[in-house]
Amino acid sequence: MKNCRVSGTEILEFLDFGKQPLGNGFINHEQKNDEFFFNMRLGFAPESKMVQLIEQPPAEKMFHEEYAFFSSTSNYMKSHFKEFYEEIVASNYLESKNSLVVELGCNDGILLKNFSDEGYNHLGIEPSMNVAKVANSNGVKTVENFFTKDVAREIIKTNGKASAFVAANVMCHISDIREIVEAIYILLDDNGVVIFEDPYLGSVIEKTSYDQLYDEHVFLFSAHSIQYLFNEFEMELFDLKPQITHGGSMRYYLCKKNSKSISTNVEKIMKHERDLKLDDIQTYIEFSKRVENSKSELLDLLKKLKKEGKKVAGYAATSKSTTVLNYCGIGPDLIEYICDTTPIKHNKFSPGMHLPIVTYEYYKKNRPDYLFLFAWNHSEEILKKESDFIDSGGKWITHIPKVSIL
Ligand code: JHZ
């Protein structure tokens, strides 16, 4: 993709992560010599203000019947999505329980289950069949498909128009974003709302959390870029609410033009983005220098620990860990294994660098001296749960916002 996916104008490249595998492409021993890689480069489009990958692997390679990420693995996220549900219900967006709520990329149903349990009219759309099956078996009505304009028309035929169209950590995954926004416009009732959240560009820049970039995250959104994108399709932002999830996310509220009053939050956050200079390529050039520094500091620390004979393991085989490991060139010589609670990842190897993925129980029996916190976004939940690791002399390593030992 040489031009911006939103405006069709030029993209200024500012960061090259080199060859990267699929963020969730955990592999068996036999697949080690037959892995998929793509060139992961990041750019900024001055016209739309959209930060985006220059190249993204095809959607079918990333989302399929063996998708490795299940949303319900974090208890904190379960309560976060319960609050999201409560907010929608408490607002006047739904006239009654019959008003249709559609969720794009509902995964295992972590959000929609709240609606289905209380008898709300709902529909999930999820292309990764294995997670969609879990949603369906949990009582969440889910269509196993990618979302398109045709799918939107089909849904209208069977379910009518949507009063609320929601998504969490999904919109930023979709390369053909114009098709999606057009499809949303078709599906949405004239008075309907679109509410979605994704990792926030401002937070990534402030925290140097470069690992929010991997194959699935083709965009890093801001209020400016979302306003630009939806304005193209006669929709506009009417509210914005920052979230603490995933190291700093933004919840975007959109409607068809002139159908809702605009919250003062919109201008407040737009101003914050101008103050952060998110419209200036220089900001991204400086970010890329900080990313390079982070890489060398992390490698220095891991090599020093190895020299001292310390054992280091990783905690949580996140998608983000794929970027850290491959960009920095960290293999099993520096981090012995990664423990994770997701069964589909067990006894596999991390994408690209091939670190063994082990069970939580394995970690408990084979404690390292240091644990690298790959799920730094869940640090509160994890550090609390693992307090005995520190008590028994263990130490945590993080790389966000700076490489350090906690
Ligand atoms: P977590 C995924 O990213 C992928 P990831 C996706 N592209 C996205 O956008 C975000 O989520 C939202 C493990 N874990 O949430 C379970 C433990 O082992 O940071 C999971 O494998 N123990 C859709 O993968 C992984 O972490 C724990 O106590 O970067 C999830 O990582 C906890 C809390 C998690 O998302």
CA distance 37 to 326: 11
In terms of DSSP bridges, do strands 50-53 and 219-220 run parallel, antiparallel, or are they unpaired? antiparallel
CA distance 276 to 289: 17
Mutate to test the pocket of ligand 1, among 341, 380, 384 (most ligand atoms within 8 A of CB): 341
Is residue 1 scored above 80 in pLDDT? no
In terms of DSSP bridges, do strands 142-143 and 370-373 run parallel, antiparallel, or are they unpaired? unpaired
Ligand 1, CB within 6 Å, residue ranges: 69, 73-74, 169, 216, 246, 316-320, 340-342, 345, 375, 377-378, 381-382
Average pLDDT, the chain: 97
pLDDT digits (tens, 9 = 90+) for 101-146: 999 999 999 999 999 999 999 999 999 999 999 999 999 999 999 9
Q: What pTM, to 2 d.p., does this model score?
A: 0.97
CA distance 195 to 170: 12
Mutate to test the pocket of ligand 1, among 378, 387, 398 (most ligand atoms within 8 A of CB): 378
pLDDT digits (tens, 9 = 90+) for 285-330: 999 999 999 999 999 999 999 999 999 999 999 999 999 999 999 9
Nearest CA to ligand 1 atom 35: 318
> Rounded to the nearest whole angstrom, what is the distance from the C-alpha of residue 61 to the centroid of ligand 1?
19
pLDDT more than 90, % of the chain: 99
CA distance 193 to 252: 10
The alpha-carbon radius of gyration of the chain (Å, integer) is 21
For residue 184, the tally of other CB atoms under 10 A from its CB is 25
CA distances from 155 to 94, 109, 135, 184, 189 (A): 18, 18, 18, 11, 12
Nearest CA to ligand 1 atom 19: 375
- The atom of ligand 1 lying closest to the CA of 76 is 33
pLDDT digits (tens, 9 = 90+) for 34-54: 999 999 999 999 999 999 999
Taken as a whole, the chain contains a residue count of 406
The model's confidence at residue 185, banded by pLDDT at 50, 70 and 90, is very high
Which pair of structure tokens corresponds to residue 337?
């294994």
